[in-house]
Amino acid sequence: MQTHALLRIANGRSLQESETLPSWAWAALRRAPWVVVRRAGARDGLIPVGVRGTRRSERLAAWLHRSAVLDSLTPLELAARRDWLRRVRRASLPALAALEGVASIMREHGLSGAWGPCGSVGFELASGVATATVASDLDLMVQPHRPLADAAAAALLASLAQLAVRTDVLLELPHGAVALAEYALAQAPLVLRTPDGPRLVRDPWAQSDRPL
């Protein structure tokens, strides 16, 4: 399963070690039975997932059998659906309202079909449950089809900075992810987020064996 993918499950009992779930996690999964695939190595064939509650402090790492997945949506699929156009809350939430502008920017930069919303906005679009707030940043992932030149990354960052909401963008590359804001600076080394932990790299498109 791809990092950032949102998975629908039956309930909290679908998770491994569900007997140890805190009360807020049970409540969160009753409200919205969705979890997000997190960046971690597989364990005995289980999917690493995260449960999100209503507060920032309510985040839980968990594990899930593939057979427990009832439905899945990736950020790229969420972007392709453009479901935000039908959301009533779009008028009052800057992060939701900005998505059509993001779609336009990605087209201009040749990244149509290579991006999608994550975080609270992605969770809301997938689950249909109000999750984002007026103060929410817009978390995005971009999966370039080919290496992105420094100048192209800087131009993309500048375009997104014109939106009425702060964006936090991860470039998902073959061996992990780097923050667009860091990549655009063209200053090595960069922090590459991998399933085995962060690594310092000079070329994030190539394998590296130097952990932080």
pLDDT in tens, 102-149: 999 999 999 999 999 999 999 999 999 999 999 999 999 999 989 999
What's the mean pLDDT when you consider all of the chain?
93
User: Which DSSP letter does residue 149 get?
Assistant: P
pLDDT for the residue 135:
94
Which residues have C-beta within 8 Å of that of residue 198, sequence separation ≥ 6? 191, 192, 211, 212
State the catalytic residue, choosing from 71, 83, 139, 150.
139
Active-site residue, 137 included: yes
Q: CA-CA distance, 170 to 188, in Å (whole number)?
A: 17
User: Which DSSP letter does residue 95 get?
Assistant: H
**How much is the pTM?**
0.93
Confidence of residue 17 (pLDDT cuts 50, 70, 90): confident
State the catalytic residue, choosing from 83, 137, 168, 203.
137
Other beta carbons within 10 angstroms of residue 69's beta carbon come to: 19
